[in-house]
Amino acid sequence: MMRTRMIAMVGALAGSIGLLGLTGAPALATGSARDCVVDLDHATMTCAATEAQARHQGGVTPAALTIARVYDGTNYSGASLAFVQSRACTPAYDSEWQWDNLGVTSGGNWSNRISSVRTYNKCDVRFFDGVNFGGASSTWIDASANLGAVGSGWSNRASSVKFS
């Protein structure tokens, strides 16, 4: 009887570990949400099967400019999170826009998940270890196919982000 209970408990524990995942990487939201768009003008995020669908569902105007796109895989692969704004960035590094908590999203937790980044429309990006721009920060980045090679390694490390 004791052995049967122990086997059942080990089985339940193994099942729980399987549900949580062993990699420690944040899971994508279930269903069809794969790509997300953050509208920095309105501080909203929408996720869908494609970026185009997320833009449409989120009511992002066609004139909105993509200023940065991050990916959960290296070499600009995997799920993506696009940041859009109504105007291009200025040349100065003055933190024109920001997103203070990459873990608070409707499409899954993007905190400690970003592995590559591209910027557009004269913008650069700066990542922070902690939410609300706390902890260590990266240099200003224009593009990186592998954030693990930037500074002391920024792959799967960012919890908040600023744009300039």
User: In the chain, what is the greatest distance between 2 CA atoms, to the nearest angstrom?
Assistant: 72
The DSSP result for 109-160, as a single string, is --TT---EEEE-TT--EEEESSGGG-S-BPPPBSEES-GGGSTT--TTT-SE
Q: How many domains does the chain have?
A: 1
In terms of residue numbers, what domain contains 49? 30-163
In a domain, 34, yes or no: yes
Specify the pLDDT at position 103.
Answer: 87
Q: Considering only residues 1 and 125, tell me which one the structure prediction assigns the higher pLDDT.
A: 125
In a domain, 110, yes or no: yes
Q: Residue 125's domain is classified under what CATH number?
A: 2.60.20.10
Residue 23 in this model has a pLDDT that exceeds 60? no
Supply the pTM of this predicted model: 0.77
In a domain, 22, yes or no: no
Q: Considering only residues 36 and 108, tell me which one the structure prediction assigns the higher pLDDT.
A: 36
| Torsion angles phi and psi, residue 132, rounded to 5 | 55, 30
In a domain, 17, yes or no: no
In a domain, 10, yes or no: no
Q: How many percent of the chain have pLDDT more than 90?
A: 63
In a domain, 19, yes or no: no
Cβ neighbours of residue 59 under 8 Å, at least 6 residues apart?
Answer: 39
In a domain, 11, yes or no: no
